[in-house]
Homo-oligomer: A and B are copies of this chain.
């Protein structure tokens, strides 16, 4: 089954995305224009990305002390991406954008992530950067920076982490001081001088574009010269690698931003990842050290601005994880169909003079393929569902928007974390299907596994997602968001209960939901965050599996009215059966410790390890 077939089914048959064209924002669109975008992206990904994915891994970015070198193929792939207009996929037509729904933009980007997640990384970051500026920048900032990013003339980055402050943004130490008495008069925005170090900056240095627009979190010192502790003192700045004028022309002056080093990673090697030094004085813009940065939004609102696009960013990471899983699934399925090895377990199978059979005929290989199918197709459905909610939030009625926002609140931690964990497992299963061959670099599956290992770490670690879910999302506003999701899940279970063959699954989903709800209550029954959150990660896992079971039931319900005997429908039903039989029962082990507020991890002492 081609991914495109599943994608089309999910988009049009399940999510009714074509109906979005009834909304004013998308009125120029139709299924035809959506399909044209998908076709174009699928083609570019096949021609310009996929053939060079291994190359992007083996020819790792190299810093010669002056410049960073990337394979020519990366330059060409990204040129083709720029050419497609996808950098401005969701932007207004009047700004040269395609004005596409989020769900179509995400679906189209699937092809690039599956073909080469690391090469695609530069574009995803640039898109997020420019979208943020459109939301929070001044008209001049939008015109100068965002527009030149949408056109692909410049690329962008997000600079949050620092060597001493990874997940803990309150400890950001980069300083931003007003640049001269007239600092507020700069047409590009209030002008500051930044000093500090930023770590883990993807796309932080390269020669793909003539300039790089860094978005940097930094603290403006208070009257006492000290930055405010905590996240409240954090502001957001545009720090271009090369200084520019208000017409977007390079002034010829290099900003005081220096590459301190490239990180050499396990995977995802095609995307440069950098330690950047701001204001160390290697360059002297305006005759003195300090990286020039232009304030975005108001002082102290840096995190709010940066996280404005967080939902989309986290859906994007989740979808990247899904696509790595999908790529491995396809590779191992292809291998399993072609590789003869062993014979059936029947009496006839004992005759060694008979030719060997393709390994896809063995139950255990089918188990490994079904697991992958249930993870990657389920993950794809989840991410598209979330992207569809983003559209609902942006273009639905106020009621629809509010309902979508509630669901997104609880679903985003799952959309980010679940594929990071389970599509990584899918990649491991793909290696296993290929056996020794899967362990060699002659096949792509080992690279997918290495690439995917990043996704549990960046854009909020697994542990951070778990705290976000159990510590905030399910309890805020009196648990409204959780109740909204529970309502949706119950509704699905009720509908499934009426469908022949799905009643048992409907019951199991209902029971899982009740178990999650019960554990949530028990976790918080003492009201002590330390007690509730000691088992936030197992909670996240159980919650995720329950959500995926729900998504799978949704998907097979959408088959109703189609030919249920088709290979397509049978495959979807089998994957849903797999998920309910082999995966969903795992939640009880995870919820057990949550519900009884297992204190072991809190009681454990350093000296006992």
A residues in contact (CB < 8 Å) with B? 1, 161, 164-168, 170-171, 199-200, 229-231, 263-267, 333, 337, 340-346, 351-353, 356, 360-367, 369-370, 373, 428, 431-432, 435-436, 438-442, 446, 449-450, 453-454, 456-458, 461-463, 466-467, 529-530, 533-538, 567, 570-571, 574, 577-578, 581-583, 585-586, 588-589, 592-593, 598, 600-609
Contact = CB atoms under 8 A, between A and B. Distances in A.
B432 A458 contact: no
Contacts of A454: 439
Main SS at interface, chain A: helix
A363 B533 contact: yes
A166 B435 contact: yes
Contact of A1 (B365, B533, B609): B609
A600 B586 contact: no
A459 to B, nearest CB: 11
Given A360-B606, A363-B530, A608-B567, A165 B341 contact: yes
Given A168-B341, A428-B453, 13 more contacts: A165-B341, A167-B342, A167-B435, A229-B353, A266-B446, A345-B530, A363-B533, A366-B602, A367-B537, A431-B453, A432-B462, A439-B454, A582-B589
Most central of A229, A369, A442, A604 by chain B CB within 10 Å: A604
B608 A436 contact: no
Contacts of A431: 266, 453, 457
23 contacts: A166-B341, A167-B342, A168-B356, A229-B352, A230-B352, A230-B353, A231-B352, A263-B436, A362-B463, A363-B533, A364-B463, A367-B535, A370-B604, A431-B453, A431-B457, A436-B458, A439-B454, A446-B453, A538-B582, A567-B605, A574-B603, A582-B598, A586-B586
Given A229-B351, A592-B585, A609-B369, A265 B168 contact: no
Nearest to A343: B168
Nearest to A447: B266
Contact of A170 (B168, B352, B369): B352
A463 to B, nearest CB: 4
A466 B368 CA distance: 14
Contacts of A567: 605, 607-608
A336 to B, nearest CB: 9
A438 B200 CA distance: 12
With most chain B CB atoms within 10 A of its CB, the pick from A431, A435, A583 is A435
A581 B589 CA distance: 8
Contacts of A463: 362, 364-365, 432
Nearest to A373: B609
B167 A341 contact: yes
Interface centre among A266, A529, A574 (most CB of B within 10 A): A266
A365 to B, nearest CB: 8
Nearest to A464: B364
A600 B341 CA distance: 21
Contacts of A606: 337, 360-361
A538 B364 CA distance: 10
Contacts of A538: 582
A589 B588 contact: yes
A600 B344 CA distance: 16
A446 to B, nearest CB: 4
Given A428-B453, A589-B588, A363 B602 contact: yes
Nearest to A354: B229
A366 B536 CA distance: 13
Contact of A439 (B265, B432, B435, B535): B265
Contacts of A170: 352
B438 A537 contact: no
A303 B536 CA distance: 50
A41 B68 CA distance: 44
Q: Which of A264, A367, A428 gathers the greatest number of chain B CB atoms within 10 Å? A: A367
A200 B436 contact: yes
A441 B363 contact: no
A605 B462 contact: no
Contacts of A457: 431-432, 435-436, 438-439
Contacts of A267: 439
A580 to B, nearest CB: 10
A570 B529 CA distance: 25
A527 to B, nearest CB: 13
A163 B353 CA distance: 18
Contacts of A582: 538, 589, 593, 598
A149 B195 CA distance: 62
